[in-house]
Amino acid sequence: MKKIEARVQLIRYTGAPEELIASAAKLCYAEDTETIFDQKPEQAKKFVGMLRNMGHMSPIEHAVFTFYIEGVSRAMTHQLVRHRLASYSQRSQRYVTHGGFDYIIPPQLKGKKVKDKGADVDAERYFEETMEYLAERYVKLNEALGDKGESSNEDARYILPNACETKILMTMNARELLHFFGERLCMRAQWEIRGVADQMLMLVREVCPSVFDGVGPKCIRLGKCPEKKMTCGEFEKIKQRYAKLEGSGTIRKK
């Protein structure tokens, strides 16, 4: 058992995504379609940036990206799969035995103390001991159920915590990714999924900059925080950070 951190890989993506998006958009208005897929990279990049800034988003859906995400908690993937316009394949707790599972520790526990039996205990250590305790109980329950793999794992897993590490493959189109980043890069999103979203954004910016340059939380697109009373109060700092990433972005100037 060990505590680990999130790792994101961009496994596959649509080849020449900007050229495909440009072709898809131009097809809608083309009388002559013979050369519709003969798009020059630099021209396509500028054209796609223009499409995004104008809000013509449906052609962007043709570009698709597949990520392999590991070192994340079940709590995080429960949030991730709420983004329904995507495809997911996740490591099963039914088919895979999870004795001695790895786990994720919330960083907010660092430096905190837990009151236990009249003593102050380090919160991170207390968390680790809890994970070790649950792992031991999982093994014993699995043995009581016959330790038969799938047929015993499926009931023993009820004791596994949300902190349990998991691995998931996710495929999402570029338009849905823009929505995902808008929601999950927000400071009100939980730290773990926000960190994963940040890694994902850095990866897709490298291969499809005309769509993802300058992208950030939804406040960047709107030019202000829409959360009202729930605002993090850091809009100016966030704007400065994402302005540094802006290429063909959609930050509204004031």
Q: Which of 77, 70, 13 is nearest to 212 (CA)?
A: 13
Give the tens place of pLDDT for each residue, 42-81. 999 999 999 998 999 999 999 999 999 999 999 999 999 9
pLDDT recorded at residue 116? 93
Instruction: Confirm whether 157 is a catalytic residue.
Output: no
Q: Which of 184, 188, 241, 252 is catalytic?
A: 184
pLDDT recorded at residue 233? 92
pLDDT recorded at residue 248? 39
* Cβ–Cβ < 8 Å for 85, 172: yes
pLDDT recorded at residue 245? 67
Helix (H) or strand (E) run with residue 86 in it: strand 86-90
* Cβ–Cβ < 8 Å for 10, 203: yes
Give the tens place of pLDDT for each residue, 221-230. 899 999 999 9
State how far the Cα of 67 lies from the Cα of 71, in Å rounded to an integer.
13
Place 4 in a pLDDT band, splitting at 50, 70 and 90.
confident
Give the tens place of pLDDT for each residue, 108-151. 999 999 999 999 999 999 999 999 999 999 999 999 999 999 99
Strand partners, 9: 68
Q: Which of 105, 157, 99, 141 is nearest to 126 (CA)?
A: 105
Give the tens place of pLDDT for each residue, 85-97. 999 999 999 999 9
Three-class DSSP category at 27: helix
Q: How far is CA 220 from CA 114, 134, 245, in A?
A: 39, 42, 11
Q: Which amino acid is at 7?
A: R
Hey, where are the domains in the chain?
Answer: 7-91+165-243, 107-159
Given a cut of 60, whether residue 251 has pLDDT beyond it is: no
State how far the Cα of 168 lies from the Cα of 12, in Å rounded to an integer.
14
- Mean pLDDT across the chain, nearest whole number? 93
State how far the Cα of 4 lies from the Cα of 73, in Å rounded to an integer.
10
Give the tens place of pLDDT for each residue, 171-220. 999 999 999 999 999 999 999 999 999 999 999 999 999 999 989 999 99
State how far the Cα of 18 lies from the Cα of 47, in Å rounded to an integer.
9
Residue range 7-91+165-243 in CATH 3.40.50.2300: no
pLDDT recorded at residue 254? 30
pLDDT recorded at residue 250? 39
What average pLDDT does the segment 31-44 reach?
A: 93
